[in-house]
Structure 1
Amino acid sequence: MKTYLMQNDDYPLDVSLFDTLDAMSIETRALTLPADHHDMSALLDGLEGGLIFFPAVWKDLFCVKLIQEVSLLPVPFETIITDVAPDVSNLIVAFNEGLSAYLEAPVNAEQLQLIILRARSRFEEKISQISTARRLLEMTLPAASFDRSRAMLVRSRYLGKAFVDLANRTGPLFESKLEILLVSSSSVQQKQLSRLLKTLGISTAETGNIKEALQAAEEKEFTVVVSDSILPDGDATKLADRLRKTSTSMPHIIVWSSSPEKAATLLNPENHIDEVIVKPAPETGIESILPSIIAVIYRN
């Protein structure tokens, strides 16, 4: 199991971590903390699994997004944030997304050794789970393929009707005033999606957390709500539950997530979430989410 130290000029690791690891004779490899969380997978591509230490960057929940990117990799890694005492609410979000440990600075040998032992145990458990999952996949592949095919047929039917309606200038995109509520802590992401939807004549409203989203839903009825899976004051399941209890007309809920493996859990009927969209990579383009949005609109 390798040990990686990730930092950059703006966000350096505490020097005590280097000193303590050196005193423990633990070999490390230096990596540059990326400016864009989407670059994390490329940075770790081809590397042997192990521990990744990086500093806390809570702006725009950047730490959490790094952890989410790491969780998508086929090779397991354990993420450890090293910094001064954290904000508890931020730390809860990070652990919910898979953070292995938070190492407070300045670092001491006893504390570091304990965290490494725990992280190694988690790492070995992940290796075992991957092996088990592969065996189960081999056993269930025919049934899983059938379920995916059936879901794709349903979506294709909705999209086919949408194409016909577009040609005839009829249907929900022309006959109804559609308005979508975007809930995200990323203003850049919201602006990109808002511009895209407006080209289809769909109006949008933007909010940054659950509290603001509920206030907006009280003032106006939305056809669809597109939300990040993780928000500053909760998650998408909490938002869907609150909307279900407070809205007179329950909107369709689409969750925008960086973790495709969480889709099945999010789509449990009790969560009242209609669709989960995996966030596209930068080279893919944000247009890739349109089929899911249009299919949900046509479910009425």
Structure 2
Amino acid sequence: MLWRASFRSVSPAAIGVPQNPRPTSISKAFVVASRAKDDISWVRKHLSGWDVKRFIVDSSFAQYTVPENKGREAMVYLTYIIDAYDKLPDVTVFMHSSRYQWHNDDPLYDGVPLLQNLQLPYIISQGYANLRCVWTLGCPSELKLDQQGNSDPEAEQSTQSTYPQAFRELFPGEQVPDVVGVACCAQFAVTRDKILERPIEDYKRYRQWLLDTPLDDDISGRILEYSWHIIFGKPHVYCPNAKQCYCNTFGLCNLDCDGEDKCGERWPFPPYSTLPQGWPTVGWDGKSRDQGVLANLRQVAMSSENQSA
């Protein structure tokens, strides 16, 4: 058993979640960054009602593609915003192509529940919401920009050392912050109105920076990963209380949380960055798991008002 769920119920209205969480009048798009070999059939199977915009970064013949496969998912996101700037839906979700990936904030790292439970009125009220509530990784201070001088070849340190100059180029005239913190990993929802708060020229400048920078893909992509919240109007350190985040963003208002950074094993820290072949019916130990086992893993790691009822 991963953790014991609380039986105390917290009303969504008590911490700011609007009533009527699933209006049907909200237009919404799913922008997915993918390669040609990726299988995204899970999106259309489980997320009816979404306008799916699949970008294929390694095919110039795809319906939606990018000027250059550079900067990882950031090139896709910026290209979509630029191309759709005058015809954006009410809410756009930017996400990666795999249904199961370690950075999905779910007990089984499953992207489907995240999107099925997304509280659209709350997203609209906020303008921007990260699809990750747990603080690991990225919060509360992923980049300590006032601590330069210690050279480290690791990607995180390289991002830290190159971020100040990149920030000056991306946000000319703004003061470089001492610290930047946001939960990883470049998957978020944003409204049309929030995107339109910036002129299209800003997004074109960000994309041109990606095209022109000599930085490696992983570094330039990570620089944008730790800039999206700033682009969409949040403070440099944006790490909401995990309990409130789960309730507001996903309607999970009955989680047992020991601190402000996580809620039990709602997101178990993975032993490896790559999920086992056959996940989730194959576990980390290589052994098969039936649906009953999977259901129990999910149940003991999360609880909501509906499940309690």
Give the TM-score taking structure 2 as reference length.
0.20
Whose strand proportion is higher, 1 or 2?
1
Greater relative contact order (Cα < 8 A, sep 6+) = 2
